Amino acid sequence: MRTLHGLLAAAALVLATCGAGWAQDTPAGPEAKEAERQARLQLADQGLQKLYKIQPDAREAVEKAVGYAVFEVDSIYALVFVGQKGKGVLFDNATKKPTFMNSSRAGTGPGVGKQKVYQVFVFKTKGALEQFVAAGSAGADVGASVSTGKDGMMRSFNPSIDIYQVPESGMAVQASWGGTVYTVDAALQ
């Protein structure tokens, strides 16, 4: 168990030192906040359109779901450390109200590369949606993923959540596991 804690601490250190490109900038002023909201809504639409192009059946799953979320995620795989940082938006299909969110992940597993992907979460139950957002402040999911090149697979350990991963750019050869934290971006609500 000490080894696991040590590896996760090292992965967190990698995340913390990945550079300015990984920082989650907080927009200043009402115009900047509105521009960021619109950018995230566009990001969600782009992610869904790319998903529907490669997996047309996903459209029905998203439309029939309790809700869904789309994140654009940057990942770095450095030997045995994994760091990810992302931003996105979650929609409750009953209200259509967007909840703007951020994500970060620390993990471990062999790998090398840098990759940008869209992650689309489809929530099959209201409980899964609520657990993900955890009363509007923070949510979490533990996941395992394996990807090579531009194709990948992600699995949620929660059977009430389907996760699609759509490659956008970069390349990684990896087999990793870790924990991801999803937080509501209070500055954009």
Residue that wins the pLDDT comparison between 25 and 68: 68
Arithmetic mean of pLDDT over the chain? 78
Residue 104's SS3 state is strand
pLDDT above 50: residue 21? no
Residue 105, burial from CB neighbour count under 10 angstroms (0-12, 13-18, 19+) = buried
Residue that wins the pLDDT comparison between 143 and 96: 96
pTM: 0.78
Cα gap 152→146, rounded to integer Å? 6
Cα gap 68→83, rounded to integer Å? 23
Mean local confidence (pLDDT), 151-179: 72
The total number of residues shown for the chain amounts to 189
CB neighbours (10 Å) of residue 123? 26
Q: Helix and strand tally (H, E) in the chain?
A: 4, 5
Q: Contact at 8 Å (CB) between 109 and 154?
A: no
- What is the structure's pLDDT at 101? 94
Mean local confidence (pLDDT), 60-71: 96
Task: Give residue 4's pLDDT band: very low, low, confident or very high (50, 70, 90).
Answer: very low
Task: Give residue 2's pLDDT band: very low, low, confident or very high (50, 70, 90).
Answer: low
The conformational region for residue 167 under phi > 0 = left, psi -120 to 50 = alpha, else beta, is beta
pLDDT above 70: residue 174? no
Q: Contact at 8 Å (CB) between 4 and 74?
A: no
pLDDT above 50: residue 85? yes
Side by side, which strands form the sheet with 138-149? 67-92, 98-123, 161-184, 138-149, 151-156
- Give per-residue pLDDT as tens, 22-31: 445 667 788 9
| Beta strand pairing call for 151-156 and 161-184 | unpaired
One-letter amino acid for residue 118 of the chain: Y
Cα gap 84→107, rounded to integer Å? 9
Q: What's the N-to-C CA distance of the chain in angstroms?
A: 38
